[in-house]
Amino acid sequence: MQRFYNQELADNFMLQICVSDIEEAFNICSSSEHKTRIAPIEQEVWGKVFYLWGPASELLHITEFSS
């Protein structure tokens, strides 16, 4: 897998990660030495989310659901 790269797959790959404290997750991601694109936290009807694009263009949805 280390030598495998498919641009179309990377451009269409999404992964949702659920966290219990989105502000802490956002601060950790924002202060990373790895420069990635990150969107601000947004409030949705179901909870909060921010988006992070990895180095291969993969999209991560970091989510905290409302209680």
Q: What domains lie within the chain, and their CATH numbers?
A: 7-65 (3.10.180.10)
b/e map of 45-60 (b: 16 or more CB within 10 Å)?
A: eeebbbbbeeeeebbb
In terms of Cβ atoms closer than 10 Å to its own Cβ (0-12, 13-18, 19+), residue 25 is buried
pLDDT band at 4 (very low <50, low <70, confident <90, very high): confident
**What local confidence, expressed as pLDDT, does residue 46 receive?**
95
pTM recorded for the entire structure: 0.79
Mean residue pLDDT of the chain comes to 89
pLDDT in tens, 21-37: 999 999 999 998 877 89
Contact 52, 13 (CB under 8 A): no
- The neighbouring-strand residues paired with 48 are 43, 64
